[in-house]
Amino acid sequence: MNEKRPSLGLPSLYSISVQVMYACTLLLCYLTGQLLGVDGGGDCQLMVKSISGNVYQAGDVVIGGLFPVHMEASHPEMEFKRKKVNDSCKIFNQRAYRWLQTMIFAVQEINSNPGLLPNLSLGYLAADTCLEESTTLVAAMTMVTGQDVSLADTDCGSAPTVPVIIGDARSSGSIVVADTLGVFDIPMVSYFASCVCLSDSWKYPQFFRTMPSDAEEAQAMAKLLLLLGWTWVGLVSADDDFGRFGSQMLMEALRGTEVCVAYHEVIPKALLQEVAHQNITDKQWIANDAWVTYGIGKSLYADVSQLRITYNVYKGVYAIAHALHDMLACQPGKGPFLNGQCPDVRRLQPAQIHNYLRRVNFTTPLGERIYFDQNGDPPASYDIINWHVAEGTIQFVHVGHFVSYQGSSGQFHIDMDRVVWGGGNRHMVPVSVCSSPCSPGTRKAVQKGRPVCCFDCLPCAEGEISNEIGSLECVRCPERFWSNSNHTVCVAQQVDFLSYNDSMGMILSIISVAGATLTAATSSTFLYYRHTPFVRANNSEVSFMLLLSLKLCFLCALAFIGQPAVLSCMLRHTLFGISFVTCISCLLSRTVMVLVAFRSTLPGKNLMRYVGPTQQRLGICICTLVQGLICMLWLTLAPPQPAERAIQENQRPKIILECAMGSVMAFSLVLGYIGLLACLCLFLAFLARKLPDNFNEAKLITFSMLIFCAVWVAFVPAYISSPGKYSVAVEIFAILASSYGLLLCIFAPKCYIILLRPEKNNKKHLMTRYFNQRAYRWLQTMIFAVQEINSNPGLLPNLSLGYLAADTCLEESTTLVAAMTMVTGQDVSLADTDCGSAPTVPVIIGDARSSGSIVVADTLGVFDIPMVSYFASCVCLSDSWKYPLFFRTMPSDAEEAQAMAKLLRLLGWTWVGLVSADDDFGIGKSLYADVSQLRITYNVYKAVYAIAHALHDMLACQPRKGPFLNGQCPDVRRLQPAQIHHYLRRVNFTTPLGERIYFDQNGDPPASYDIINWHVAEGTIQFVHVGHFVSYQGSSGQFHIDMDRVVWGGGNRHMVPVSVCSSPCSPGTRKAVQKGRPVCCFDCLPCAGGEISNQIGSLECVRCPERFWSNSNHTVCVAQQVDFLSYNDSMGMILSIISVAGATLTAATSSTFLFYRHTPFVRANNSEVSFMLLLSLKLCFLCALAFIGQPAVLSCMLRHTLFGISFVTCISCLLSRTVVVLVAFRSTLPGKNLMLYVGPIQQRLGICICTLVQGLICMLWLTLAPPQPAERAIQENQRPKIILECAMGSVVAFSLVLGYIGLLACLCLLLAFLARKLPDNFNEAKLITFSMLIFCAVWVAFVPAYISSPGKYSVAVEIFAILASSYGLLLCIFAPKCYIILLRPEKNNKKHLMTR
């Protein structure tokens, strides 16, 4: 059977007249009794009659019931000549009859339950309404006035016999009855009236219902669409009031969601019969129960499990029963009425049951919770029914339900496995979208002229990403980041430089190290053969300097590889320039020497005095110093610095790390100076190319310089044209190529002769003979010492000392022959010695050289003949097992090295150069012209005295107490070598100069050195004794230096010079040993961010703990800065003052309007909306304060909630004012009466609805994904900072809040713009237009500023937008009005406000 749904249309004129007539008639007796105080015992009696189709059962409390058992009423009598007779209605309604039976069943079930209504029976009086408003009203009035024959014994004027009514089924009937009975506080509980209008508790305060409102149904439908992801739907509604209003409510529910309506068609219900006839099953339909069951006939009600409305009747009866139960439970004195009275259930007043119905809250036997909200509406509860079509029949299968209790947004429970989708599909939820969601890497672009859910998915531009499905905008990647190929993730831009991991960098590094290794091998070869004539003839000092500079040339290429840093950029061209200049200076010196050496062979030429070793060293130093000065100026004025340069490669940016020159002129000067020296060297070598073969090194230099110049000429264009790291590779290649050219051209031929042609490496053409004045002095010293000893009777009494000295000619063979001649007596001076006797010479002083001493000691050691050397310092001679008879007065080289090392440590010199002479003797004659410096001479003197003291000890030997067998003493006259060796081992005496002399177990003396200082004055050198060093056995040695007498380098007398490779690293830095250099050469690298070192010379930096960071000096870990917009911050303080000032100004405006509220101007401006607008503006100003301060859970949740609701309330007030202005003007036209729709009630309702929508959005936001306090680390000035902020939780929710505000603002702007040309009496539209323009401009500018602002500045931007828009609204709307009220009171009258 077709069932009519509630209609929202107005009743006909006839129906209204009938209602009024019956109402007046039926109430006449009741009102007369109430006014005259007539009780039931008077003459006034009720006119009883029978209600058509009524059902009655007596009880202590009788409830009424209105049911449309029939669906068509008889036509009324229009002549009014006789009493109205009840006519029967037509068309029996089986469904409504079931509802009637349900009420009867529920009453019987309640009466049979003694625990619910003890000692109280429930009765009922049900009437047939015939689905007519007039019949419904008559039946209701008959019940409550007691006119029904079933109630005929009720006294007139008493309380209504039926205090509450169940019904009506239709909204229109319920409106009529509620309007009438509401005057008498008689409540009614409808089971099927769903009109939204009945939720107006102000208009229908006595109305309750167990059927949810149509608005709840629309909300549930909208939520179901969102749940299933159907964003593109068609809307079909019936061509009646219910269809039109229902579709409008559904559209309102879908507003602000992602669901779009593709079309909206109004069709007759008969069309659905055609749909069913055509078997259109490939579409998915969602409909309410009226449409779902339309035209299906009896089949729906044959299944008693689908009794939703029947169940509503059941719940209505139980709601009344529970209200009566609560009445019975009332304790006297604690009741809800005057003086704590409880209601009398036997004489029940309607207002009393209304009070208890309002508070009812129970659970039905089926487990459903029932209560009524402030509007009398129940919780929204719907069954979800699915059509299962099989073999031409339709089964209505219950697949789920929806429940929405107060305070919740509702919840679906659906068994998806039981659902049959359109087309018979059971496995996959159909998709209904206009456009598929945009995948990550794309963004939405709304199609012009189409709904917002119809969009194109445009790929993000280069450098932009989107990592969410359905992104509205692509986000720009941060600096130094770029989008990946899918535009879903920002990846770090490729940073390119010539690194060691790069294949090209690796190859160049290997070539560089190989060149340095080859140079080191050449140096080792020259060092190993340094005593050969060929090496010595090639000026070995300059050769080693050239090899050292070449090694630096190879190694400086490594400084160009790796990530550029400040130190490496400064070292690159400095090392390169100085190394190459030193190298070419050495070649230039060699070239000049070759030329001069040839010219000096000509008669009358003596040029060699200008190119001696000193002059060569001086020339090399001067040339290198010039380059060093250029580099120093470069590093001081405009040093090279690490730089970044962005280039595009394959449409992707790449960051090139390089060393910016700083000064191109300085770089050109460095290269130009190298080129100048190279060209000069090439020119001089070219002049010497035809010299004799003895001087053919010039040819090698010429060829090497040709290669050098060719490489660097080709370098310039290649360097300029090469991009990025390839320019660095070109420079390294030029360095290595020129370095290899110099190494191979200069040293390859020499190594060939040294290693492969040793027969050419001899002294034949290099030896010269000369007299050694220094050694001659040593001889004279021995003679002097012997004579001095012989003249001293106390040392060797009765014993004279002789000597036999021989010239060794500085050759090992000559030395050995001389020594053997002495000890064997072969010398002519010893010819009288018997053969076979003891050696005439039992001890030898010598030799001067370690090599000669080794040869002699090896030979004479076999015969136990001791020797005392005065100049042999080789460490090898300290081996007492190999040379047990060797003694010396010259300390070992090891002792000298130790003493030098201790002196360097004493003076703090950690970076020194080592220079050795190119011969065995050093400086030459000039050193020994000053006889005060006779250290070696003194060693000869000590050696003679050591032998004399050994002989003295022999003479002092007492018989039978000697050291030999049976205590024998030695015979000094026939001395055996072993005997003097024994006494030499134990000698211990002090020289006449006060120096203690003895020999240790290795035959070495105490280490004793004079410290001599050169004093240079007027071209002469004085050797000044400034101290000495002594190290006796068992001590580490001690220096005695008179610092005041020392003249340091450069003539300085006051300050010890500093000589360190690298100064000690200060706190905040760490040591980084320079690659390929000694450990005392290191760079002091500043600690990285977040690392510290608090000691001098730290090897490593220590990582700061979490949430700590290093200070600017990297010496202390300090807590990381926590940043948020606080009240102590100047920006936060200013914004707070502006916010409070705005709220104060708004309060002042409110006070002004309140004080002048009775004036015409204020009253004409709708003072109620004005005060509401001012209140919301004050909240707008004050909500900005919620954004300031440290984010907390509550403040984060309140920020955008307060902001969104207060701004929506504000704009809703303006929208209401704008609509009033428009309607006020339109209502002046003939036939227009639009002001009925914009009264105060409608304005309040509109403002509340608009605000409620925003509140719902905020509630969903706070429920599903609320904003939370979060921390975010950022880098600011290369220091991390912790940003405390409120994470949105849901960007979609935030966008909805802003979008909804923007929607209302645009709508208000549009309406105000339409009203801008209205007469002056309506010029408030102009003010609203201007305020909305400011508002929209502020918030349009807010979006990019908010996105691009970092940290707390994004919060400040949002606060600024809030305050700017709030000030704009306040000043634009209220400033002109306050001006008139306060300054132009003559205009504050009715004259300018009246309309004609």
User: What percentage of the chain carries pLDDT values higher than 70?
Assistant: 84
The closest of 840, 882, 833 to 857, measured between CA atoms, is 882
Reduced to 3 states (helix: H, G, I; strand: E, B; else coil), residue 860 is: helix
pLDDT at 165: 94
Looking only at the bridges linking them, the beta strands covering 1069-1073 and 652-660 are: unpaired
Task: Give 242 or 420, the one with higher predicted confidence.
Answer: 420
pLDDT at 650: 67
Report residue 1005 CA to chain centroid gap. 71
Q: Which single residue is written with the structure tokens 């003890």?
A: 118
Question: Which residue intervals of 861-934 are DSSP H helices?
Answer: 893-907, 925-928
Report residue 835 CA to chain centroid gap. 100
pLDDT band of residue 270 (cuts 50, 70, 90) is low
Question: 343 near 352, Cβ under 8 Å?
Answer: yes
User: Average pLDDT of 1002-1027?
Assistant: 83
pLDDT at 28: 42
Instruction: Order across the sheet with 1268-1276: list the strands.
Output: 1121-1123, 1279-1287, 1268-1276
Task: Give 974 or 1267, the one with higher predicted confidence.
Answer: 1267
pLDDT band of residue 45 (cuts 50, 70, 90) is low
Instruction: Report how far residue 353's alpha carbon sits from residue 336's, in angstroms, rounded to the nearest whole number.
Output: 11
Query: DSSP per residue over 621-668, as a string?
Result: HHHHHHHHHHHHHHHHHS--EEEEEEEEETTEEEEEEEEE-S-HHHHH
Cis? peptide before 168, omega within 30° of 0: yes
pLDDT at 37: 43
User: Average pLDDT of 843-850?
Assistant: 88
Q: What is the three-state SS of 672-718?
A: HHHHHHHHHHHHHHHHCCCCCHHHCHHHHHHHHHHHHHHHHHHHHHH
Question: 11 near 125, Cβ under 8 Å?
Answer: no
Mean pLDDT for the chain? 81
pLDDT band of residue 548 (cuts 50, 70, 90) is very high
Running DSSP on this structure, what letter comes out for residue 148? Answer: B
Most confident of 133-147, 545-559, 897-911: 545-559
Please give the structure tokens belonging to residue 1050: 């450069």
User: Average pLDDT of 245-269?
Assistant: 83
φ, ψ at 1041 (rounded to 5°): -125, 130
Looking only at the bridges linking them, the beta strands covering 996-998 and 475-476 are: unpaired
pLDDT tens digit string along 650-685? Answer: 667 888 888 888 888 998 999 899 999 999 988 888
Report the alpha-carbon angle 1293-1294-1300, nearest 5: 85
How many CA atoms within 13 Å lie on the side-chain side of 943?
Answer: 33
Task: Give 28 or 94, the one with higher predicted confidence.
Answer: 94
User: Average pLDDT of 174-199?
Assistant: 90
User: Average pLDDT of 616-632?
Assistant: 91
Query: DSSP per residue over 48-87, as a string?
Result: -BPPTT-EEE--SEEEEEEE-SEEEPPPPPSS--SPPPPP
Query: pLDDT at residue 320 above 90?
Result: yes
Q: Which amino acid is at 831?
A: A
Instruction: Report how far residue 802's alpha carbon sits from residue 905's, in angstroms, rounded to the nearest whole number.
Output: 46
Q: What is the three-state SS of 1299-1318?
A: HHHHHHHHHHHHHHHHCCCC
Query: pLDDT at residue 806 above 50?
Result: yes
C-alpha pair distances (Å), 1037 with each of 113, 873, 895, 906, 912: 119, 18, 10, 12, 22
pLDDT at 174: 92
pLDDT at 68: 92
Question: 1147 near 1178, Cβ under 8 Å?
Answer: yes
User: Average pLDDT of 1236-1250?
Assistant: 81
Query: pLDDT at residue 360 above 90?
Result: yes
pLDDT band of residue 632 (cuts 50, 70, 90) is very high
Query: pLDDT at residue 1309 above 70?
Result: yes
Residue 189: partners with Cβ closer than 8 Å, 6 or more residues away: 164, 165, 166, 167, 208, 209, 210, 316, 319, 320, 357
Task: Give 116 or 1276, the one with higher predicted confidence.
Answer: 116
pLDDT band of residue 3 (cuts 50, 70, 90) is very low
Query: pLDDT at residue 12 above 50?
Result: no
Q: Which amino acid is at 820?
A: M
**Worst-scoring range by mean pLDDT, 160-169, 319-328, 407-416?**
407-416
pLDDT tens digit string along 696-707? Answer: 577 788 888 888
Query: pLDDT at residue 1168 above 90?
Result: no
pLDDT at 372: 92
Question: 385 near 352, Cβ under 8 Å?
Answer: no
Its pTM stands at 0.42
Q: Which single residue is written with the structure tokens 């009519």?
A: 4
Question: 883 near 861, Cβ under 8 Å?
Answer: yes
Instruction: Give exposure, 974-987, as e/b (b: 16+ Cβ within 10 Å).
Output: ebbbebbbbbbbeb
Reduced to 3 states (helix: H, G, I; strand: E, B; else coil), residue 377 is: coil
Helix (H) or strand (E) holding 1366: helix 1352-1378
Running DSSP on this structure, what letter comes out for residue 758? Answer: G
Q: What is the largest CA-CA distance in the chain?
A: 195
The closest of 720, 728, 719, 726 to 569, measured between CA atoms, is 728
Task: Give 390 or 600, the one with higher predicted confidence.
Answer: 390
Instruction: Report how far residue 610's alpha carbon sits from residue 122's, in angstroms, rounded to the nearest whole number.
Output: 141
pLDDT band of residue 1232 (cuts 50, 70, 90) is low
User: Average pLDDT of 1063-1073?
Assistant: 86
Q: What share of the chain is helix, strand, coil (3-state, %, to 5)?
A: 50, 15, 35
Task: Give 1143 or 1223, the one with higher predicted confidence.
Answer: 1143
173 by Cβ neighbours in 10 Å (0-12 / 13-18 / 19+) ranks as buried
Please give the structure tokens belonging to residue 521: 């091998």
Instruction: Report how far residue 766's alpha carbon sits from residue 483's, in angstroms, rounded to the nearest whole number.
Output: 75
pLDDT tens digit string along 1324-1358? Answer: 777 787 788 888 888 877 777 777 677 778 888 88
Please give the structure tokens belonging to residue 1162: 């204020």
User: Average pLDDT of 1128-1155?
Assistant: 89
Question: Which residue intervals of 279-349 are DSSP H helices?
Answer: 289-292, 299-302, 308-328
Q: Which amino acid is at 1338?
A: V
Instruction: Report how far residue 489's alpha carbon sits from residue 495's, in angstroms, rounded to the nearest whole number.
Output: 18
pLDDT band of residue 293 (cuts 50, 70, 90) is low
User: Average pLDDT of 1215-1231?
Assistant: 69
Query: pLDDT at residue 79 above 80?
Result: no
User: Average pLDDT of 1267-1296?
Assistant: 82
pLDDT band of residue 602 (cuts 50, 70, 90) is very low
pLDDT at 646: 76
pLDDT band of residue 1233 (cuts 50, 70, 90) is low
pLDDT at 1214: 84
pLDDT at 696: 57
- Residue 1202: how many CB atoms within 10 A of its CB? 20
Instruction: Report how far residue 588's alpha carbon sits from residue 575's, in angstroms, rounded to the nearest whole number.
Output: 20
Please give the structure tokens belonging to residue 426: 């059971």
pLDDT at 722: 75
User: Average pLDDT of 107-117?
Assistant: 92
Question: 148 near 89, Cβ under 8 Å?
Answer: no
pLDDT band of residue 507 (cuts 50, 70, 90) is very high
pLDDT at 866: 92
User: What percentage of the chain carries pLDDT values higher than 90?
Assistant: 17
User: Average pLDDT of 304-317?
Assistant: 78
Instruction: Report how far residue 625's alpha carbon sits from residue 942's, in angstroms, rounded to the nearest whole number.
Output: 46
Helix (H) or strand (E) holding 788: helix 773-790
Instruction: Report how far residue 1191's alpha carbon sits from residue 1132's, in angstroms, rounded to the nearest whole number.
Output: 14
User: Average pLDDT of 1269-1296?
Assistant: 82
Instruction: Report how far residue 707's alpha carbon sits from residue 701's, in angstroms, rounded to the nearest whole number.
Output: 10
Residue 935: partners with Cβ closer than 8 Å, 6 or more residues away: 1009, 1010
pLDDT band of residue 43 (cuts 50, 70, 90) is low
Q: What is the dihedral angle through the alpha carbons of 924, 928, 933, 934, rounded to the nearest 10 degrees?
A: 100
Query: pLDDT at residue 115 above 70?
Result: yes
Instruction: Report how far residue 477's alpha carbon sits from residue 480's, in angstroms, rounded to the nearest whole number.
Output: 8
Question: 1205 near 1258, Cβ under 8 Å?
Answer: yes
Q: Which single residue is written with the structure tokens 């008959």?
A: 142
Query: pLDDT at residue 33 above 70?
Result: no
Query: pLDDT at residue 416 above 90?
Result: no
pLDDT tens digit string along 676-703? Answer: 999 998 888 888 766 654 445 777 888 8
The closest of 1, 214, 194 to 93, measured between CA atoms, is 1
User: Average pLDDT of 201-216?
Assistant: 91
User: Average pLDDT of 1173-1181?
Assistant: 89
Please give the structure tokens belonging to residue 699: 């040819």
pLDDT band of residue 844 (cuts 50, 70, 90) is very high
User: Average pLDDT of 1196-1216?
Assistant: 87
Residue 667: partners with Cβ closer than 8 Å, 6 or more residues away: 573, 634, 661
Positive or negative, the CA dihedral 489, 491, 493, 496 is negative
pLDDT at 1376: 84
Query: pLDDT at residue 758 above 90?
Result: no
Task: Give 536 or 306, the one with higher predicted confidence.
Answer: 536
pLDDT band of residue 325 (cuts 50, 70, 90) is very high
Q: Which amino acid is at 57?
A: Q
pLDDT at 945: 92
Please give the structure tokens belonging to residue 749: 């031929």
